[in-house]
Amino acid sequence: MGKWEAVKIEIGKTEGVRREVKVTASSSEIAAVRKSALDVVRKHVKVPGFRPGKAPDVLILQRAKEEVNREFVLHLRAQAVRHVKIFHGSGDILALVAVIVPNMQEVADGDDVTVTVYVDVSPEFELPDYDHIPIPTFPEPDVSEEEIDEKLREEPPNEEDLKDAQELREHVRRKIYSQKAFEQHEKRLDAITDFLCNSVDFPLPASLVEMETADLLAEDIGLNPSNLPGLDKNEMDRIFQSCMEAVCRRLKRDIILEAIAKREAIAITKDDMLAYLFFHSNAYGIPMDVLLRTLKKDESELRKMRRRCLSRKVIAMLLERSSSGVSHDLSLTNTNTPFQEEDAGNAMLVLKRELRRASTAEENSAELQQADGIGDGPTESCAGPSDAEPTARPNNWVEND
């Protein structure tokens, strides 16, 4: 199915960072979508008395009305979302919340069609002066013999390790040293986060807060939200509140860091993304092949990874410019899981595909903005909470991403 070349875009209700965007396609574009949907289904529907792909439209609709409607709706949805991303700029859209698409039966011949898209966009705010952020300084971590002895008592070595006692103690010393260095590093990151979050205020996208809170419950705590009703209500509330506060703090910091990256023209490379995938796999104990399969299936997870990778790169710059001038060691982590060479190759394939797709999207965005006369999105005051939901959720509610 071809791309829409001319559409009308209107901004409906706005509240906080939530935007209601109406994308209207002409009757000729809709007629082409209808024909394409029928042609796609016609190829695999068997109709007695007709060769494959030759049955008339009326018989295809009689036998496969739902399949034709699904193709029709999916194409309308994809094209509407594409134009919303062009209109706002894909980098300014933080989350796709919902898309409302009419069924094919609701569209008469010769009618234009309007698709309503709800998105959460980046808030508007003034960046603080982020040069020379006060960062705590620490002496180089020191590991005593007593700490090594204590660690060996806590984690007794096996018989194989006991063959070389001196080498074992050196391994434990390096492990304790790395842990202390990691803790110092985390305190520096906390100082940056505190400075940025306390310097500006803006509404956070409710959709991302909800999604990432659920992720934190499931991934970091190992708690499935569906099991929460079995817990004590006070304990349940405490867990949710703690997770939501952590998510809001991290999300706010990352949004500010993205704005800094835009001002400083900082972008992530394939090598940056590969290093971050290694870090994530190592830090959370997720095998690289499992991580890659997840990213292939879940684009929202891939977007989140890209955002966090960019944040780490901006943090490196802020640490170097800070009052203490600390260098940012991206390899710092509290785990010691080795990586395999084949993991690097697999990860690079995924990254190349993603970066190629992102590059193509940016080129299409620039070309269509010029061809369609689509200007920049509207400016909007960002005062007040961002918890507005679409006013109605009809039966043809398609997306809740």
DSSP helix/strand/coil, 231: coil
What tens digit of pLDDT does each residue of 214-242 get? 877 776 555 555 555 556 777 777 888 88
Q: What is the pLDDT of residue 2?
A: 55
What 3 state SS string does 41-109 have? HHCCCCCCCCCCCCCCHHHHHHHHHHHHHHHHHHHHHHHHHHHHHHHHCHHHEEEEEEEECCCHHHCCC
Q: Which fold has domain 7-124+379-400?
A: Alpha-Beta Plaits (3.30.70)
Residues 109-120, mean pLDDT to the nearest whole number: 88
**What is the distance between the alpha carbons of residues 265 and 256, in angstroms, rounded to a whole number?**
14
What tens digit of pLDDT does each residue of 62-106 get? 888 899 999 999 988 988 888 888 887 766 788 888 898 888 888
Q: Which residue has the tokens 């003034």?
A: 126
Residues 135-154, mean pLDDT to the nearest whole number: 90
Residues 149-167, mean pLDDT to the nearest whole number: 76
What tens digit of pLDDT does each residue of 44-72 get? 888 888 888 888 888 888 888 899 999 99
Q: What is the pLDDT of residue 345?
A: 44
Q: Which residue has the tokens 């992530």?
A: 268
Q: What is the pLDDT of residue 146?
A: 93
Q: What is the pLDDT of residue 364?
A: 45
* Better-predicted residue by pLDDT, 242 or 344: 242
Pairing of strands 113-121, 397-400: unpaired
Instruction: Assess whether pLDDT exceeds 50 at residue 313.
Output: yes
Domain boundaries, the chain: 7-124+379-400, 128-199, 208-372
